[in-house]
Amino acid sequence: MTRRLGMLSLVLTMAMAGSAMAQQHATLLLDSGERVSGDLVDMGGVGFTMNVNGSERRIPTGQVVVIDFAGDARSLPSTELSKLGNDGQGVVLGSGEVVQGKLDDIGGTRPLRLTVNLAGGGTRDLTSNDVRRIYLSRPTGTGTTATGTPGVGPQGAGIAVPANQRWVDTGVTVRKGQRVTFTATGEVQLSSDPADKASPAGSLRGRYPSGGPMREVLAGALIGRVGGGSMFGIGTQTVPLPMPADGRLFLAVNDDAVQDNQGEFRVQVRPGASR
């Protein structure tokens, strides 16, 4: 009996050691602006599993913008951002090389095993020791208008809000309670299904996103955010909306996974007088 208990204890100890090794410290930048630091354990159907201060947290893949193995996902180098693909995706290696492609899988033990679907076709296997950062979509604040700079675009054009980008910086700073008028036009495609389309009011099928920034708002609808939080729906309403906080104004298409989206909205932003 003593020998059997000893063997059981050894097996449990080895299992716990293996579980502890199957992770690596990382900081996840979410599309809400939140940063989650802890041990990255896995990437599966439920999204990313993080061990944060001893507690397990699962984060849907569509909410993650950057995985940073080398820092805290702040002050991201412009030299990296300029080398990302048109979809804003890429993997930055320790050498500084940027591999354009989409993260397909994370697993294994320390170092974690990463599989990337390359933009030009094929796959590439890496380890977390090889990688500084993984971009799943272009980070907040790197969006541009048709003129190439953040802000309220030329008359009649408006701000371009691509469906395959998380958040677009309007270049407009608002005050809490200030009323802003939005005029949105255009149509976007929310998946590889040509019929899965949305206007600024939301999905033409009336569906909701399973893990989008605002689950209570129709998929594909135009939404806004002030600063790192305080999200609100916009849609096609033309009544001036009161801003929920002080800070920079961002716009986005409400969807859980934006990588396969197509098209863009054009949005005119007209801030009223601040209080």
| Burial group, residue 232, by CB count within 10 angstroms (0-12, 13-18, 19+) | middle
Task: Yes or no: say if 166 and 231 are a contact pair by the CB < 8 Å rule.
Answer: no
C-alpha closest to that of 208 among 195, 221, 225: 221
CB atoms closer than 10 angstroms to residue 183: 15
Q: What is the DSSP letter of 168?
A: E
Q: Which residues in the chain come in under a pLDDT of 50? A: 5, 8, 10-21, 142-156
pLDDT, residue 175, reads: 92
Domain boundaries, the chain: 2-135, 159-271
Cα–Cα separations (whole angstroms), residue 134 to 114, 115, 265: 10, 11, 27
H-helix or E-strand spanning residue 28: strand 24-30
Task: Yes or no: say if 34 and 28 are a contact pair by the CB < 8 Å rule.
Answer: no
pLDDT, residue 208, reads: 93
H-helix or E-strand spanning residue 251: strand 247-253
Task: Catalogue the long-range contacts made by 99-103 (C-beta closer than 8 Å, 24 or more residues apart).
Answer: 99/124, 102/136, 102/259, 103/43, 103/67, 103/134, 103/136
C-alpha closest to that of 168 among 216, 225, 218: 225
Q: Identify each DSSP E strand in 190-246 by its residue range.
A: 197-199, 202-203, 222-226, 229-233, 241-242
Q: CA 260, CA 193: separation in Å to the nearest integer?
A: 10
User: Domain 159-271 in CATH: superfamily?
Assistant: Galactose-binding lectin (2.60.120.430)
- pTM over cut 0.75: no
Tokens representing residue 175 in the block: 């005050």
- H helix and E strand count, the chain: 2, 21
Q: CA 48, CA 115: separation in Å to the nearest integer?
A: 15
